[in-house]
Structure 1
Amino acid sequence: MKSVSLDQMFHDQLRDVYYAERKILRALPKMARAAQSQELKAGFEKHRTETEAQVERLQQVFDLMGKRAQGKTCPAIDGIIEEGEEVMENYKGSAALDAGLIASAQAVEHYEIARYGTLCAWAGVLGMTEAVKLLQATLAEETATDEALTSLAEASVNEEAARTAA
């Protein structure tokens, strides 16, 4: 059995999330254009700005490790984004579109929350205190975005989708 150290696994997962964040940066403008709710559009635009800062933080973590910032294909995020594109295509013009966009965005957020939580824990064990701070800042943003999406869905979007369908 191949022996892989935690720092190797940390680097591998860092590459994974770096790829994911850059892929998300390309998807967010499409989602903002597709959204019907102005509040949802604004939320996607705000998160795009946050995601740009998150990519910069990841680059700082790579620098702390003495490694080049480089992504690694992440089939999980590719699949989640593909599902979001299907929602945009299949529900375009429907009242359910925004509810589907929120569900798609939350799938992304949940993936990121899982990854950043793990990376924070591993960075702590590895004694990478500066990396922990950078990763925790991103984890807090991802969690706040997920909560904002839930609030928007519960406050209006889900009800509007249900009301129009009836």
Structure 2
Amino acid sequence: MKDLNELFVHMLKDVLYAERAILKNLPKMAKKADSDELRQAFENHVQETEGQVERLEQIFEQLGKAPRAVTCDAMVGLVEEAKSVMEEAKDPDVLDAGILAAAQAVEHYEIARYGTLLAWAKQLGLKDAVPLLEQTLEEEKNADVLLTKLATGKLNKEAMGGRSKAA
């Protein structure tokens, strides 16, 4: 990459991969969730993520580029972490706390990426991309707030001793 514009496009490709990976894995996480609230949060975020992919595709179109993804190693790792939790957690409450934590790691990654893309879009004068990135960044922040409320409200407390000990 020779300049910020090329870096911006590369990062768009990276985050497109990340969003598509999330779309593939959110339904699996929803299916595994024991908590109705957590399941609903994952199911709602699928629709939001579909909109985020559409906005990324719009930005590619604005740039005259094909919306081609490049492997996002960070997202590969975060997805693997979530899969590991889903396979290893024996207690439903522990599973919920674990997949919620994995989802928050994903949200934090996305918040960082979209914040960077937004700053670069402004610097590069990509006025049409700015509101699209702002909307996605706001959605990711809201998703993180919701997950934090679920975690601190009851899910982490329920996982403290496992279901078998709490009953």
TM tier, smaller: over 0.9
Partners of 1:94 and 1:134 in 2: CA distance: 37
Partners of 2:56 and 2:119 in 1: CA distance: 15
Q: Could you report, residue by residue, the CA deviation over 1:83-112 in whole angstroms, capped at 9, with x for unpaired residues?
A: 000000001443211000110000100110
2:56 is the alignment partner of 1:27: no
Indicate the residue corresponding to 2:111 in structure 1.
113
Indicate the residue corresponding to 1:54 in structure 2.
52
Query: Which one of the candidate residues 150, 153, 157 is aligned to 1:152?
Result: 150
Indicate the residue corresponding to 2:137 in structure 1.
139
Indicate the residue corresponding to 2:6 in structure 1.
8
Shift in CA distance, 63/34, structure 1 to aligned 2, threshold 3 Å: same
Is there any run of 5+ residues in structure 1 with no aligned partner, and where?
none
Query: Which one of the candidate residues 77, 80, 91 is aligned to 2:78?
Result: 80
The two structures have a TM-score, normalised by structure 2, of 0.95
Query: Which one of the candidate residues 39, 42, 67 is aligned to 1:41?
Result: 39
Amino acid at match of 1:69: P
Is there any run of 5+ residues in structure 2 with no aligned partner, and where?
none
Q: Could you report, residue by residue, the CA deviation over 1:11-39 in whole angstroms, capped at 9, with x for unpaired residues?
A: 00000000100011000000000000000
Does structure 2 conserve the Cα–Cα contact (< 8 Å) formed by 1:99 and 1:157? Answer: yes
Equivalent pairs, count: 164
Percentage of matched positions with identical amino acids: 52
Q: For 1:73, what is the secondary structure of its paired residue?
A: coil
Q: For 2:139, what is the secondary structure of its paired residue?
A: helix
Amino acid at match of 2:156: N
CA RMSD of the aligned region, Å?
Answer: 1.1
Question: What is the Cα deviation at residue 129 of structure 1?
Answer: 1.1
Partners of 2:112 and 2:145 in 1: CA distance: 15
Partners of 1:50 and 1:20 in 2: CA distance: 14
Does structure 2 conserve the Cα–Cα contact (< 8 Å) formed by 1:25 and 1:52? Answer: yes
Indicate the residue corresponding to 1:127 in structure 2.
125
